[in-house]
Amino acid sequence: MKKITIGIIVFCSLLTIISCEKDFGDLNKNPYYPTETSVGPLFNTVVSSLRLGWDEQMYVHNEVLYKQTQLAALTSEAWSNLSIGTENIWGGYYSALAHIRDIERRLEEMEDPERPDSLNNVRGMIKIILAYRTFRVADLFGDMPFFDAGRGFEGTEYLRPKFDTQEDIYLYLLDELKWASENMSTQTETPSGGTYYSIAAYDHLFGGNIDRWIKFANSLRLRHAMRISDKKPELAAEIILDIVENNLPVITPGEDVLMTPADQGWIKYSSGWAFREHKHLRMGSNIWNQMADSDTNDGSGFFDRRAFIFFETNNENKWVAYPQIPDANTPPAGGIPYQEHRDLNYSIKGDDNIYSPLNYYLIKDENTIPEIILTGQEYHFIMAEAYFRGIGLPFDEEMGMDEYFVGVIASMEFWDNIHANSSMWVYMDPHYGPSTPNPYNVANLIYMLETLEERMDLMYAQRWIDLFRQPWEAFSVTRRSGRTPREGDPLNYFRLPYPPSEVENNPTNWQVQSAKMGGDLNTVKVWWMN
């Protein structure tokens, strides 16, 4: 509206309503509430909401998920404010959901009865983002308000929405993704003879590339079909077979779905802040044992080159893992490995930083290290599991091994590119080079094992390692499979408790939901778990 001059408004007021409605029905029914010009900015706001929250990273990822997945070791549980992180996730989601509901309403107002397919691409984009955002929250919390949520502007009856089952939400979203895959088009002209309405200028995820959106929809279908394979095996098999048999496009290596600050015009202060304030994550013995074949502390024992990208040496330039399950005799961790002084004084990590921290550049780079939504290698890991388990595809151990191989090589290349494309990465351990350690060291391991069970365990381990900076996804793989690498007792932490704001503002529905679950506890399994 800021770009519309008073003169243009006066001029348009003299035009007939018919001329204003030529393309999109009642588009200009209210000249002071232009639906079309509002969809793009609202969509941009929704895309921006995909960024990880500051408190989410500090209180949920760093304090809970890295520990529970054992992707890193938590050296001290100094923060007992999980609710701050859950509020960040919950509030961010429902704010975005309200914007999505508003966009959906505006699209309904824009629809031309004679050419309704003109809006299919934008509708598909909204459905895909809604699915991604909702799957993430439902996988962390379980049942949640959804179908009536985000509609407060429609009436007071929606202010305290009921909780919907995770199963119903999943089935709905999978159908929505299928609709998007089938109805979005890379063509200019619609089947009805119109043109597709575009908001490409506001699409900061794919720049209006509809082909990438369709691939994203199908990749999400694959991800979540596999996630429900134990609860809905027939549906999971149907979705996987549909995508493979019909050769539907998916995100492949090099087409990764990322939130990259430099490309999208923002600065990623959040991860550096979360690690500086939290301070207590270190390389754990569990992931060390998956990436090294000896306990030498000079780095020569690592056969997995990603170790040098994920972690770094201690204050004495030695590689030392913190025990995943420490005992009373374990020396305490300390130091200042995540403080910003290291931009100029990289080697100063603090005298008591005796264990290997996460790599400073990986978490500090504010411009070129992306937040990861979905990568191309994930497709190959899912295909490997589908062949190994015979889900939607005939059981084929050889095909499973081959898909694993491609997935591992793609993962190595992805993380090499993360390092190579960083705008600030200066120092790298001397044991890391253009082809050392050889990426095929890990990829070929699958062919050296003798049993299917060993191969499946390796496949889960490699998918777990690849998800190093997606601890929420690793948490889902760990809970679903129960086969990711682990030291000590089996996982007994299955979900996040609902945030206090939901308890306070939606008390009746929360009480019903809590009673249904047997308590709002982290030991309650989410729907798709066995």
Going residue by residue through the chain (530 aa), what tens digit of pLDDT does each one get? 333 333 433 333 333 333 333 333 333 333 334 455 599 999 999 999 999 999 999 999 999 999 999 999 999 987 779 999 999 999 999 999 999 999 999 999 999 999 999 999 999 999 999 999 999 999 999 999 999 999 998 999 999 999 999 999 999 999 999 999 999 999 999 999 999 999 999 999 999 999 999 999 999 999 999 999 999 999 999 999 999 999 999 999 999 999 999 999 999 999 999 999 999 999 999 999 999 999 999 999 999 999 999 999 999 999 999 999 999 999 999 999 999 999 999 999 999 999 999 999 999 999 999 999 999 999 999 999 999 999 999 999 999 999 999 999 999 999 999 999 999 999 999 999 999 999 999 999 999 999 999 999 999 999 999 999 999 999 999 999 999 999 999 999 999 999 999 999 999 999 999 999 999 999 999 999 99
Residue 380's identity, in one-letter code, is H
Q: How far is Cα 58 from Cα 62, in angstroms, rounded to an integer?
A: 5
Burial status of residue 297 (CB atoms within 10 A of its CB: 0-12, 13-18, 19 or more): middle
Helices and strands (H, E) in the chain, number of each type: 23, 4
Q: Quickly count: other Cβ atoms within 10 Å of residue 123's Cβ.
A: 23
Question: Would you say 378 and 386 are in contact if contact means Cβ atoms under 8 Å apart?
Answer: no
Q: Which of 232, 112, 95 is nearest to 166 (CA)?
A: 232
Q: How far is Cα 308 from Cα 443, in angstroms, rounded to an integer?
A: 17
Q: To the nearest 5 percent, what fractions of the chain are helix, strand and coil?
A: 50, 5, 45
3-class DSSP state of 171:
helix
**pLDDT, position 37:** 54
Buried b (16+ CB within 10 A) or exposed e, 82-100: bbbbbbbbbebbbebbbbb
What's the predicted TM-score (pTM) here?
0.92
Strand partners, 189: 195
Domains of the chain: 1-33 (no CATH), 39-250 (1.25.40.390), 251-491 (no CATH)
**pLDDT, position 16:** 33
Q: How far is Cα 128 from Cα 125, in angstroms, rounded to an integer?
A: 5
3-class DSSP state of 311:
strand
Question: Would you say 479 and 529 are in contact if contact means Cβ atoms under 8 Å apart?
Answer: yes
Question: Would you say 467 and 477 are in contact if contact means Cβ atoms under 8 Å apart?
Answer: yes
Q: How far is Cα 376 from Cα 255, in angstroms, rounded to an integer?
A: 6
Which tokens hold the place of 410? 């793609």
Which tokens hold the place of 385? 């599991």
3-class DSSP state of 251:
coil
Residue 31's identity, in one-letter code, is P
Element (H, E) at 357: none
**pLDDT, position 261:** 98
Look at the alpha carbons of 399, 403, 404, 409 in this order and tell me if their dihedral is positive or negative. Answer: positive
**What's the DSSP call for residue 64?**
I
Contacts of 264 (CB under 8 A, 6+ apart): 204
Contacts of 327 (CB under 8 A, 6+ apart): none
Which phi and psi angles does 7 have, rounded to 5°? -65, -40
Antiparallel, parallel or unpaired: β 73-74 and 371-374: unpaired
CA atoms within 13 A on the CB side of 299: 21
Q: Quickly count: other Cβ atoms within 10 Å of residue 398's Cβ.
A: 9
Q: How far is Cα 5 from Cα 3, in angstroms, rounded to an integer?
A: 6
User: Which segments of 305-434 does DSSP mark as H helices, in order?
Assistant: 307-310, 360-364, 377-389, 397-420
Contacts of 199 (CB under 8 A, 6+ apart): 39, 40, 43, 122, 125, 208
Question: Would you say 497 and 520 are in contact if contact means Cβ atoms under 8 Å apart?
Answer: yes
